[in-house]
Amino acid sequence: NAGVTQTPKFQVLKTGQSMTLQCAQDMNHEYMSWYRQDPGMGLRLIHYSVGAGITDQGEVPNGYNVSRSTTEDFPLRLLSAAPSQTSVYFCASRTPGPPYEQYFGPGTRLTVT
Amino acid sequence: AQKVTQAQTEISVVEKEDVTLDCVYETRDTTYYLFWYKQPPSGELVFLIRRNSFDEQNEISGRYSWNFQKSTSSFNFTITASQVVDSAVYFCALSDPSGSARQLTFGSGTQLTVLP
């Protein structure tokens, strides 16, 4: 049982490049989400999904796309990277009912130059 | 809207001192969950504790203790006899009980440095 996995761990992009951050979980959780962490701002919700085929926007969705074709995978796409997207990205999945415990991946540190 | 405030941006203590990290939250929900996470220098998020809004009992786990006071909307975290390994960023978070929208709302974190 690997929990929540994320790849890559580190990535450097040039402005305008695109990439996909991968996230997978093996706990059969319906709920998955992406957060970004910036200094002094805690973690902020980018997008979330309540099940395969269903996604919705969080607090800071601009510049990111998501899709959920399977229960296990929830990739985050940056279509045209910008320096403002330099951040640490965490994927999480959570239990469907109380206590709604979140399981976080190890994070991806992204730098956009 | 939900909000979590951690007013202490950085705290520095000397080893063996006690330290309290403050967390104040805002929510209109009557049922909710509160969490504390630790983020050591290695970067991962480590779950410390979860509390639901109906359980106001304080909790102690080794050197860690938590004081939940609904009347003041606070969920403070105390480390007794701090150690260098406690140096980390600590996040308080609030969960949307319906589960369909906001997932977790995090505070901005408190950087704790424990000096030897």
Q: Is the CB of A45 less than 8 angstroms away from the CB of B91?
A: no
Residues of chain B with C-beta less than 8 angstroms from the C-beta of A56: 101
Is the CB of A74 inside 8 Å of chain B's CB atoms? no
Q: What values do phi and psi take at B15, rounded to 5? A: -50, 140
B44 touches chain A (CB under 8 A): yes
- Chain A residues touching residue B107 (CB < 8 angstroms): 42
Closest residue of chain A to B33, computed from CA coordinates: A99
* Chain A residues within an 8 Å CB radius of B104: 35, 43, 45, 92, 102
User: Which residues in chain A have Cβ-Cβ distances shorter than 8 Å to B103?
Assistant: 31, 33, 45, 48, 58, 92, 94, 102
How confident is the model at residue B81, as a pLDDT? 97
Q: pLDDT averaged over chain B?
A: 90
What one-character DSSP code corresponds to residue B30?
S
Q: What is the pLDDT of residue B31?
A: 84
Distance from CA of A17 to the nearest CA of B (A): 25
Place of tokens 């359980």: B55
> Region B90-110: what's the mean pLDDT?
80
Contact B100 A107 (CB under 8 A): no
Give A39-69 pLDDT, tens digit per residue: 888 899 999 998 999 999 988 999 999 999 9
pLDDT in tens, B80-94: 999 999 999 999 999
Per-residue pLDDT reduced to its tens digit, B21-48: 999 999 888 888 899 999 999 999 998 9
Q: Where are the beta strands (DSSP E) in chain B?
A: 3-5, 10-14, 19-21, 24-26, 33-39, 46-52, 59-61, 64-69, 74-79, 88-95, 104-106, 110-115
CB B87 within 8 A of CB B41: yes
Query: How far is the C-alpha of A46 from the C-alpha of A60, rounded, in Å?
Result: 5
Average pLDDT over residues B54-70: 88
Q: Which of B58-62, B63-67, B102-106 has the lowest mean pLDDT?
A: B102-106
For residue B102, pLDDT over 90 is answered with no
Q: Which pLDDT score is estimated for B97?
A: 63
Q: Alpha-carbon distance B37 to B19, whole Å?
A: 16
Nearest CA in chain A to B92: A42
Residue A38 has pLDDT above 70, yes or no: yes
Residue-level pLDDT at A41:
82
Which chain B residues have a beta carbon less than 8 Å from that of A90?
Answer: 45
Quick check: B98 pLDDT over 90?
no
CA distance A40 to chain B (A): 5
Give the rounded percent of residues in chain B with a pLDDT score beyond 70.
94
From CA A35, how far away is CA A60, in angstroms rounded? 9
pLDDT tens string A71-101: 999 999 999 999 999 999 999 998 877 777 7
By mean pLDDT, which of A21-25, B12-16, B20-24, B47-51 is the weakest? B47-51
| pLDDT reported for residue A43 | 93
